[in-house]
Structure 1
Amino acid sequence: METRELRYFVAVAEELHFGRAAQRLGIAQPPLSRAIRQLERRLGTALLDRTSRTVALTGAGTVLLAEARAALEAVEAAERRTRRAALATTGRAGVVLAAKAGAPSELLARLLDAYAAEPDAVTVDLLLCGIGEQERALRDGRADVALLHPPFDTTAGFDTEELRTEGQVVVLPAGHPLAGRPHVRTAEVAGLPDLPMPRWPGHDGTYPDGPGPRIREHAQLLQLVALGRACWIAPESCAARLRGDLAAVPVLDAPTVTTVIAWPPHSRSRAVAGLVRAATSLYAPAERP
């Protein structure tokens, strides 16, 4: 299969309309229809159920849509990394570090200072991401290296070094009855009907079912907690930078959160190696799992 065919198919599968897909691609509809028929013949199966009024994905088409998206993302990531590698040979490229927008500034400041002391350090461009987006930025080539937080982020397919492990706290409005407690348990937090847990999008961009508010930005989340519309279980390091209208209470039985530095396994970047080396030098073995 050619990448052109995959792009054509993804456009039709997402629009479920040949005319709109052709317009989106900037081509005429007849060659688009021919390309899809040729792709179906090559695969030996129907990808789309067509009537005079509707277009729908078959089971095989649903599978190909997921695979085609992943393949096209991989091609785009390869292009970005290749261009960045070419710039690196001229000395004009830095390294892109993806981190969660709400990540502790103390961690980032220490990491950047430690890396700046490396003899061959280059410019570090920070890519501050929304909740869960730094993993995707690393996979699609927008970032060279990322700070991830299992179990919230998936590290499958990356090389990683663990930096530190910490417990979790529940973030509540400062005036909430639980805010003055020395600690709570997850069952107590889950049983708060007035403060549902927030929901953020998965890798496919959709939200899980539930009563909690839909969240995309860290600032939006903190505002909703302060207004008494949600609570949030987060790494305990976030407590040091909370606003005065919020409180953090340790959750005794919550799973620990590990901060890792991650990079693609095929990376040969000296800058990435230096950044990883600087990150691991910041934490004593006792702070790691």
Structure 2
Amino acid sequence: MDTRHVHYFLAVCKHLHFTKAAQELGISQPTLSQQIRVLEDELGAALFDRIGKKTILTEAGKLLLIYSKKMLEAEHDAKEAIKQLLVGGGGTIRLSVLPSDLDFQLVPLFVRFHEYFPATQLQAISSLTIHEDILENKADLGIGLIRHEDSRLLQIPLRSEPYELIVSRAHPLAEKKQISLQDIKDLPIVMYPRGFLGRELVEKACREQGFQLTTVMETTTASSLLQLTRANIGATIQPQGLLCQSADRHEYVVLPITDYPPIRHLSLIYRSDRFIGTAQKQLTAWLIEYFEQL
């Protein structure tokens, strides 16, 4: 089966519209229709039904959709493996990372990676759906929370770290050394919106203690939350290692939570059936070493 036909097929699956798919592919709609017919003739089955103005997948089309993604993944892996063999580098590594970790913690490691592998492009992607990114081939590696076992994935534990309260030096709690979770009960908090993994972990710990967070402002990046904290809009609750690489970390006071702190368990995640080149193996080793030293 010609992989070009597979790309054409996937484009039609994406849009369920031949004209839009043809525009994305940069070919004419009649050419696309002809190539899909060639693929259908080869397989001996119709892949799409045209019902009025709607295009839908047939049962044969649904089956091909599953296997065509695997075919393209195998093609990608083969090309990457040969490229690694011939030139010892090159290619692209896609790393899916939780937003808070991408903001501060990993940039020094990215610099180190580029120094050793200048020919390899590293794409660091901020995401809330790490496991899904890996399974759907949107990323090669991921740093996310440990979840239930999945035979398709390898999950290497990186670090378990508690969440702590971060306040400005002008905050009323700045003179304290530590706090209890109950001390947060009526505290003005700046935090991620609901749906963010860090927010959900903190909310769960608070609910178990019989209260909810009082958020006065919500943003989607750790850097903006810290700026709001520094301006004394409110305190924020973040993982223990967040401020390690922040240039202005001395402007904040970090207060450990002594009882029932929210804890996150980070893991390095990748597909168990994917080719891993030299650069990705080294990046994996550095990531494990980096989190061990935090």
Which letter maps to 1:150? L
Paired residue type of 1:129: A
5 Å-filtered alignment, 1:1-289, equals 2-36=2-36, 42=43, 47-51=48-52, 54-57=53-56, 67=66, 70-71=69-70, 74-75=73-74, 77-87=76-86, 90-91=87-88, 98=95, 101-102=102-103, 104=105, 108=109, 123=117, 127=122, 129-132=124-127, 136=133, 140=137, 146=141, 148-151=143-146, 157-159=152-154, 161-169=156-164, 182-183=178-179, 185=181, 195=190, 197-198=192-193, 215=220, 219=223, 222=226, 234-242=238-246, 243=248, 248-250=254-256, 252-260=260-268, 267=275, 269=277
1:202-237 residue CA offsets vs partner (Å, 9 max, x unmatched) = 9xxxxxxxx99674x654565566678998654311
Q: Cα deviations across residues 6-30 of structure 1 (Å, max 9, x unaligned)? A: 3223323433432232222222222
What SS class does the counterpart of residue 263 from structure 2 fall into? coil
Alignment root-mean-square deviation, CA: 5.7
- Measured at CA, do residues 67 and 220 of structure 1 come closer, stay the same or move farther in structure 2, by a change above 3 Å? farther
In structure 2, how many angstroms separate the alpha carbons of the residues matched to 1:62 and 1:226?
A: 55
TM-score by length of 1: 0.56
SS at match of 1:149: strand
CA–CA distance in structure 2, aligned partners of residues 11 and 94 of structure 1: 24
The superposition leaves residues 54-84 of structure 1 with CA deviations (integer Å, 9 ceiling, x where unpaired) of 4354585995697378436614632552343
Task: Give the match's secondary structure for 1:239.
Answer: helix
Separation in 2, partners of 1:187, 1:6: 58
Residue identity opposite 2:266 in structure 1: T
Q: Distance in 2 between matches of 1:224 and 1:64?
A: 50
**CA distance in structure 2 between the aligned counterparts of 1:220 and 1:272, rounded to whole angstroms:** 31
Q: Distance in 2 between matches of 1:230 and 1:157?
A: 42
Cα separation, 1, equivalents of 2:17 and 2:69: 22
**Percent of residue pairs identical:** 21
Would you say how many aligned residue pairs link Structure 1 and Structure 2? Answer: 262
Q: Which runs of 5+ in 1 are unaligned?
A: 117-121, 203-210
Offset, 1:166: 1.9
Shift of 1:129: 1.8
**TM-score w.r.t. length of structure 2:** 0.55
Query: Counterpart of 1:254 in structure 2: which amino acid?
Result: P
C-alpha distance in 2 between matches for 1:164 and 1:232: 21
Distance 1:33 1:261 in 2: 39
Q: Distance in 2 between matches of 1:183 and 1:175?
A: 17
Cα distance in 1, alignment partners of residues 278 and 235 from structure 2: 42
SS in 2 for 1:198: coil
Q: CA deviation at 1:101?
A: 2.9
Q: Which has the higher strand share?
A: 2
